[in-house]
Amino acid sequence: MARRSSLSTLELSLFPQPTSAQANQYWYVTQRPWPSLLFILPGLLLFEIGTICHDGWDGRGNSQLVAPFLIERLVESLRTGDQTPQLLWMGPGLLLIAFLLAWHIAARHPWRFDGFVLAGMLGESLLHTIPLVVFGRLMLQAARPGQNHALWLDSVIRSFGAGIYEELVFRLICITVLVILLIDLARLPRGPAGIFILAASAVLFAYQHHPPLGAEPFAIQSFLFRSAAGLYLAGLFVFRGFGIAAGCHVFYNVIVVTMGAISHPGG
């Protein structure tokens, strides 16, 4: 049997052949890049348009969102002339779209799927958010400070960007690169290497919130919670797909921001 391409081996769980009847079941369809792209596209557009309306062209650089900031620095390193500011703004979103499309094409998955899949992904994302919210409340014992309506709306918009782009950088890209390096190239045992990859992506996700990349002062309790949350989201990415992991992350951010605004309005 021919060996799968590197992008196909990103699917750490075994998949049936794309043309088989089993592959058209909901469990497998949701893990494909094309449905994931269609699912997260409204949130991606909301964040990009909201960033322009609230902050202007330079706003995202000041938004303390590390993941899109890192992607923008990569795009900026490919400076090509006067169109760089526009290219810089479009870079993270275009990279995400290109990555998912390339993965889908390389894996040779079908483009068609039933419409109920997106509704199911929405319900699953909300359902998978519950353990994160409960664990966060138990471990951190506090909601975020309250905000007025304008600041709350701004935080909600940023929640979409943080959820989608952090899943892109710390799950899709990070896990992809580590799978290629450790499993495809170094030929390490799949099981132990997979555990290390998921743990490493979770720790990197937690660490990026603190200096020198993030702006939040280091606190061991927050770091441990985010590491655990990162491991949970990595598991969702592997077994339920990028779209559901990103949806869960976005909904968790929105819920936490909203709970803080309700608990302490105008703070």
Q: Is residue 150 part of a domain?
A: yes
Mean pLDDT for 58-85 is 54
Residue 117's nearest CA partner among 21, 243, 248, 245 is 243
Percent of the chain with pLDDT over 70: 72
Q: Is residue 19 part of a domain?
A: no
- pLDDT at 109 (0 to 100): 84
Lowest mean pLDDT among 33-42, 154-163, 240-249: 154-163
Domain total of the chain: 1
Domain range for 213 is 28-263
Q: Which range among 45-59, 61-75, 97-111 has the greatest average pLDDT?
A: 97-111
- pLDDT at 112 (0 to 100): 85
193 pLDDT more than 80: yes
Q: Is residue 127 part of a domain?
A: yes
Q: Is residue 18 part of a domain?
A: no
Per-residue pLDDT tens digits for 197-219: 999 999 999 998 888 877 788 88
- pLDDT at 107 (0 to 100): 83
Lowest mean pLDDT among 66-75, 91-100, 111-120, 123-132: 66-75
Q: Is residue 10 part of a domain?
A: no
117 pLDDT more than 70: yes
Q: Is residue 114 part of a domain?
A: yes
Per-residue pLDDT tens digits for 165-189: 999 999 999 998 999 999 999 999 9
